[in-house]
Structure 1
Amino acid sequence: MNNRDYYFIKPYDENLPKPPAESFGQILNETFLHPFNWKARTTRKSYWLSALVNTILILLATMIMSYVFSSNIDLGLKWIDGVISVVIFVYVFLANLGQLIRRLHDTGYSGYWYWANFTGYGAMFTFYLTLQPSVQRSVKWGAYLYHKGEAYPAIEEEKVPVPTIGQILKEHFFDCFKWNARSTRTSFWLGTAVSCLISTITLLLAYLIMFLIFIQYYIKGENANVNIPTEALALLLVLALFSIAIAVWSFLAELGHTVRRLHDAGFIGWWWICAIPYVGNLLLAFLLFHPTTQKDIKWNKYLFEKEEKIN
């Protein structure tokens, strides 16, 4: 087997070393004593065993917190148990984050793919990656924590450029109509995650302001005929126009980035039309997750200069 990149599940190449086997103690040590060691990789077995342990710890902490706050014990003990439970939640989250980033590295993907979890299909894709076998080559993000020596041949030169965060944000939000180009998976999904986050925050703020106005002039009113002042109506109008502008800008930004991402995967940009509910959305997400095509295409340029890329 000559193909060492596992985009789909493939058997291991018997001519290459397999991933090192870790004991259960080493897995626990890696998980809980190295939460911030992101310059490494971890095997599929290590990640899923640690995920199981973390799930058990979360369930136990939740049960303890639920019991403590529903029983008649001393208030000071409730606060102590509550603080301990919060510390457990935070520490388990950090431990799982470190394992997930190392697992992504082990499949040949940057840890920045974690941010894809903030999009619906992105969460499905990161879950899919955690199920993949280890790539049987060196990766640029480090080696296994409990393996001495060089496990795999030297890493091949990276052919796909990786833009910086600033370049990704500029491409996503300010190059909406530059469709005659291409865009990497990292750029598209990170830009999409940031766009979803901004849209969600804007929507929540709009609902909060409308709720406060409703509380102020209806709930506190003595009758149902309370008139909303002109200032409040003006604020609602500005808020509505602002929300519409954000929605339109987000749509155009996402459209442009989708077209460039389709080009980069070797498809024509018109495939974005299949973004219809249910089946169409799944098909489009599948196309957008495709790796960069290695053949020459007529949209063969990125929106950032080669000398600006991260090596």
Structure 2
Amino acid sequence: MNETNQSGMVADAPKSNWVDRFAPEWLKPYARLARWDRPIGWWLLFLPCLWSATLAADAKGFYLPNLWHIALFWIGSVAMRGAGCTYNDLVDRDIDAAVARTASRPIPSGQVSVAGAKVFLVLQALAGLLVLLQFNIFTIWLGIASLGFVAAYPFMKRITDWPQLVLGLAFSWGALVGWAALFGSLSLAPVCLYLGGILWTIGYDTIYAHQDKEDDAVVGVRSTALLFGAATRYWLIAFYGGATLLFGLGFILADAGLFAFGGLVAGLAHLAWQAIRLDIDNADDCLRLFKSNRDYGLILFAGLLADALITAG
């Protein structure tokens, strides 16, 4: 069923988003394809970069993360999230057409042609490459290495109950890149941050996947939401708890101070609230809890930033 209204708005986009209100008509379908009307995606891609860059600055004894790097990470997150969504929608266009929440997306609804989407994908990928080329050679190759997970992700929901794991492998990559951009190498601290990010991603994307579980079961799409079912809350506690332990180990290895751990504890309280509040049969509630992970990421960042500001020198 095609749920696109006369203005072309997408069914699951926030109401009165900036794309629908301000973007020129020719740009709107492509902005929707890149999910510019739903910034939560680039936030979740950007936050591990932000944590890693700030933890690296703290380890170096700097007051602040490299602001030029932060700007590049933000631009790269927007570009690559848009490219990833465009690629995902090209691969999933037949599935999206059969799911109520996604049938109004630009490709299945006919707002953007397959050829037009491919051109747009290339342009966004080139923008991401231009950003990546601003870093040291180690970071450039590290960034390129993430593309395998990005390419594999859309197909995982067809062959495994754990596509959220592959999403975590891709979306948490910034936890490595932020550190590498400053040090030109990796150590165990960012690896722990990366592994924790994977567990965090599995948790929040399982919440997200509960919105579509009925349609997914009908069309044959697999997910951790369907796998965990009524036990999701307990799995969520395990993933969020494991993420917190790994983040804490990364902080210890980077010699982070008290304020970083204060942020980690405050963030854990937020994750516990998510697990307690979760109603897997309320799609609107699942979406709200999923989006609240931006707040969790900012809490963690605030603790790391405070630690760098107060303990540097």
Fold match by TM threshold 0.5:
no
Higher helix fraction (1 or 2): 2
Q: Relative CO higher for 1 or 2, CA cutoff 8 Å, sep ≥ 6?
A: 2
Q: TM-score if structure 2 supplies the norm length?
A: 0.24
Q: TM-score if structure 1 supplies the norm length?
A: 0.24
